[in-house]
Amino acid sequence: MRTIRGVAANRYRKWIYGWENHLCFRSNDRIVRPFELGVDWSRNWPCAKDYPLEGQNEIEYLIELNRRAIASSKEFFDYEVPSSFELKDNWLEFQSPVVTPYPENNRVRALWFPPKNPSKKAVVLLPHWNSKLPQHNALSAGLQRLGIATLRLSLPYHDARTPAGLQRADYAMSSNVGRTIDATRQAVIDSRACFDWLEQQGYQDLGIVGTSIGSCYAFLASAHDERIRVNMFNHCSTYVADVVWEGLSTKHIRASLEGSIDLDTLRKLWLCISPPEYWDLFTRGKKRSKFIYTRYDTTFPLHLSRQVIEGAARHKWDHDVACLPCGHYTMGEFPFKYVTGYEICSFLKRNL
């Protein structure tokens, strides 16, 4: 029986991995862009104030900015509350507190799913990298039917926020080090601004749902915002650099990085946008969380997800864990997408 189980498990694993590769590489529009440190993107970061670049090595300069950003992370992820929110045809729009060179990206858009009956419960939902409408709308509608108001945020450089000429959300995560930090900072701040609007509408029981890169953004937002009490992290990992270096989805980014930078240096350059740097800060908040990861993940490698679960236990977070027998891409396919939807909706229904 052990042999049969072993053979069956091996066949299943090969089948899932083959399916993962097919789903990943059916998109043939990935571009290997030039490696750039992107130091110019740091000019508006609080940690760069009174710390000029002149006369410094650019890599060492960015590493020092990361150190300063982490040391004063509440300031790094702080912002001015938008002065005006506009809701029209269930689309919430406002100007991002983070200004980029792209007007399209500076206009935040979030699709609003209000519950039929009055409620004090609401979540901000952050989709995965390169998500497109109507992806995640079904999940948002499901939460809506459960009486949980949901704002599905269009992430920076996604959907209508995509700069002209781009087919993918390449500017959200790329081989441009500084721009990737800036996009992450913007995603966190835009998410927090959505909670400002929800509070203005009278919502009090607030949570966040993040998938893949959205999970990273959600963790950073929750660690820096005490209003977010319930967290749903769909896929979880540790350092951004490790995911990019090892993940199947980011092979084209690694192709740009290799030869110009090594993993250890990249980890230091993206430290300020990596969740483990804020585990202690997250611990201080009274939060309820759930982590979902997959046994055959090719994008958020399994050993990195397990490190998060170990960290959650070590820090004694109030949390649940679900490990699904699929991969990163196959989670969005039948039957796994329904299992994932149940895990997310049931957890939020119980805890908000």
Domains delineated in the chain: 35-351 (3.40.50.1820)
Q: What is the CA radius of gyration of the chain?
A: 20
pLDDT in tens, 6-63: 889 999 999 999 999 999 999 888 999 999 999 999 999 999 999 988 889 999 999 9
Q: Are 124 and 199 in contact (CB under 8 A)?
A: no
Q: How far is CA 8 from the centre of its chain?
A: 34
Q: Are 207 and 232 in contact (CB under 8 A)?
A: yes
Measured between alpha carbons, how far is 185 from 105 in angstroms, rounded to an integer? 13
E strands, 189-330, in order: 205-211, 230-234, 288-294, 318-324
SS3 217: helix
Q: How many CB atoms lie within 10 A of CB 142?
A: 17
- Which DSSP category does 288 fall into? E
Measured between alpha carbons, how far is 30 from 252 in angstroms, rounded to an integer? 7
CA-CA-CA-CA torsion sign (87, 88, 93, 94) = negative
Q: Which pLDDT score is estimated for 118?
A: 87
Measured between alpha carbons, how far is 135 from 127 in angstroms, rounded to an integer? 8
Measured between alpha carbons, how far is 302 from 58 in angstroms, rounded to an integer? 33
Q: Which pLDDT score is estimated for 1?
A: 35
Q: Which pLDDT score is estimated for 6?
A: 81
Distances (CA, A) of 158 to 16, 101, 126, 140: 28, 15, 11, 18
Q: Which two tokens stand for residue 14?
A: 């090969």
Single-letter amino acid code for the residue at 123: V
Q: Which two tokens stand for residue 244?
A: 């990019």
Tens of pLDDT along the chain (352 residues) come to: 344 478 899 999 999 999 999 999 998 889 999 999 999 999 999 999 999 888 899 999 999 999 999 999 999 999 999 999 999 999 999 999 999 999 999 999 999 999 999 899 999 999 999 999 999 999 999 999 999 999 999 999 999 999 999 999 999 999 999 999 999 999 999 999 999 999 999 999 999 999 999 999 999 999 999 999 999 999 999 999 999 999 999 999 999 999 899 999 999 999 999 999 999 999 999 999 999 999 999 999 999 999 999 999 999 999 999 999 999 999 999 999 999 999 999 999 999 9
Non-local (6+) Cβ contacts of 37 within 8 A are 58, 59, 62, 176, 177, 178, 269
Single-letter amino acid code for the residue at 350: R
Q: Which pLDDT score is estimated for 27?
A: 85
H-helix or E-strand spanning residue 113? strand 107-113
Q: Are 329 and 211 in contact (CB under 8 A)?
A: no
Q: How far is CA 152 from the centre of its chain?
A: 13
Q: Which pLDDT score is estimated for 23?
A: 97
Measured between alpha carbons, how far is 156 from 319 in angstroms, rounded to an integer? 29
pLDDT in tens, 272-284: 999 999 999 999 9
Q: What is the pTM of this model?
A: 0.97
In which residue are the tokens 């000429």 written? 165
Q: Which two tokens stand for residue 113?
A: 């799913």
Q: Which pLDDT score is estimated for 3?
A: 46
Measured between alpha carbons, how far is 216 from 286 in angstroms, rounded to an integer? 19
- Which DSSP category does 80 fall into? P
Q: What angle do CA 159, 129, 191 make, to 5 degrees?
A: 75
Averaged confidence pLDDT in the chain: 96
